[in-house]
Amino acid sequence: HETRYKTGAHKTRFLTTAEAKCEPRYDGGYGLSGGASVIPRWTFNPGTNRCEVVMTKGRCSSWRNCFPSFEECEYDCDPQMEQWKP
């Protein structure tokens, strides 16, 4: 399955489903002062091709490039994992 979207000045690019949901990097949220009420989650950074910790205000969804574990982030988004998927 491919998702089509526009980039830049009238350019078109095709992404796989994994790429589409793994961009852009999830920016987390803002907890209470002092970092209270935030929960560590994982997001895929397309710039580095790696999953990174991100702090969130609560639940986040994989369709927003936010995962509860490193393993889920890596499985859904890491390009090197594609070779191991059925």
* pLDDT confidence tier of residue 4, bands split at 50, 70 and 90: very low
More confident residue, 79 or 15: 79
Strand partners, 13: 5
How does strand 50-56 pair with strand 11-16?
A: unpaired
12 has a pLDDT exceeding 60: no
- Which CATH superfamily includes the segment(s) 2-84? Pancreatic trypsin inhibitor Kunitz domain (4.10.410.10)
Predicted TM-score (pTM) above 0.75: no
Is pLDDT above 50 for 1?
A: no
Long-range contacts of 39-43 (CB under 8 A, 24+ apart): 41/66, 41/67, 41/68, 42/66, 42/67, 42/68, 42/69, 42/70, 42/72, 42/73, 43/67, 43/73
Domain ranges for the chain: 2-84
The sign of the torsion formed by the CA atoms of 41, 45, 48, 50 equals positive
